[in-house]
């Protein structure tokens, strides 16, 4: 369900989990920013919109829920083991406008966009969708490498985090996260903007919970 359009200046976050975003114990930007091919030929990845995770605390709560859900899915499928436990490590931030600028930076990209689309009860969930121009398939991997390079260079962070349920994981994989090329994340909003973002979030969250309750009744 799409509820609102995302302005170019708004921030989005990409969650990092172990082992998905790692090669062994080493953080991998390619795995972290993996874009999945879709039946229509486009590529898809998941982000969360700052409008619905208005503080770093909200970001980390959503990341912890993601890891718990991944572990529950493994458990339900009978595939959960201590060695493959999903561990939330933190998040990196990128602006919506930097994603939409991809066609100007990578010639094979026809369009790139971020669309607010709720998923699995998560109000902040956002689709990152990229489509390439039709043509020979021989250089798709090279194009994907260019895309991932541009996305990584537009990121700031990391915002490291250790969930309460993962404090026994030593060493915690969050320590292996790399500093993003765009530098550390800083919140440049005024106190009034932060206050407004929290109030807006609470209103949206309350309405969203009522919608979920109504459709689950």
Q: Does residue 108 form part of some domain?
A: yes
Distance CA 104, CA 119 (A): 30
Q: Does residue 37 form part of some domain?
A: yes
Q: Does residue 216 form part of some domain?
A: no
Q: Does residue 199 form part of some domain?
A: no
Q: Does residue 159 form part of some domain?
A: yes
Tell me what pLDDT residue 82 has.
Answer: 75
Tell me what pLDDT residue 141 has.
Answer: 87
Tell me what pLDDT residue 212 has.
Answer: 59
Distance CA 100, CA 96 (A): 6
Q: Does residue 4 form part of some domain?
A: no
Tell me what pLDDT residue 166 has.
Answer: 95
Tell me what pLDDT residue 63 has.
Answer: 98
| Whether 113 contacts 100, CB under 8 Å | yes
Tell me what pLDDT residue 89 has.
Answer: 98
Q: Give residues with Cβ within 8 angstroms of 156, minimum separation 6.
A: 92, 93, 94, 180, 182, 183, 184, 185
Tell me what pLDDT residue 162 has.
Answer: 98
pTM tops 0.85: yes
| Whether 51 contacts 4, CB under 8 Å | yes
The domain of 56 spans 11-189
pLDDT tens across the length of the chain (217 residues): 556 689 999 999 999 999 999 999 999 999 999 999 999 889 999 999 999 999 999 999 999 999 999 999 999 999 888 778 999 999 999 999 999 999 999 999 999 999 999 888 899 999 999 999 987 666 888 999 999 999 999 999 999 999 999 999 999 999 999 999 999 999 988 999 999 999 999 998 888 777 655 544 4
Tell me what pLDDT residue 216 has.
Answer: 46
Q: Does residue 66 form part of some domain?
A: yes
Q: Does residue 137 form part of some domain?
A: yes
Distance CA 87, CA 171 (A): 12
**Number of structural domains, the chain?**
1
């Amino acid at each position: 369900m799409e509820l609102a359009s995302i302005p170019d200046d708004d921030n989005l976050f990409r969650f990092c989990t172990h082992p998905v975003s790692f090669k062994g114990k080493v953080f991998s930007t390619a795995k972290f920013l993996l874009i999945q091919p879709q039946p229509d030929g486009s590529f898809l990845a998941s982000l969360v919109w700052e409008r619905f995770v208005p503080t770093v605390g909200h970001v980390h709560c959503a990341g912890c829920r993601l890891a718990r859900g991944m572990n529950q899915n493994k458990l339900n499928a009978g595939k959960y083991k201590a060695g493959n436990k999903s561990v939330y490590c933190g998040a990196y931030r990128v602006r919506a406008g930097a994603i939409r600028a991809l066609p100007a930076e990578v010639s094979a990209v026809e369009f790139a966009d971020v669309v607010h689309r709720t998923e699995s009860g998560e109000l902040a969930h956002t689709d990152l969708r990229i489509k390439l121009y039709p043509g020979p398939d021989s250089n798709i991997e090279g194009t994907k490498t260019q895309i991932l390079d541009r996305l990584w260079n537009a990121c700031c962070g990391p915002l490291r985090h250790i969930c309460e349920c993962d404090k026994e994981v030593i060493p915690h994989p969050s320590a292996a996260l790399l500093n993003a090329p765009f530098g550390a994340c800083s919140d440049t909003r005024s106190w009034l903007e932060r206050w407004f973002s929290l109030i807006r979030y609470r209103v949206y969250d309350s309405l969203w919970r009522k919608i979920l309750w109504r459709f689950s009744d």
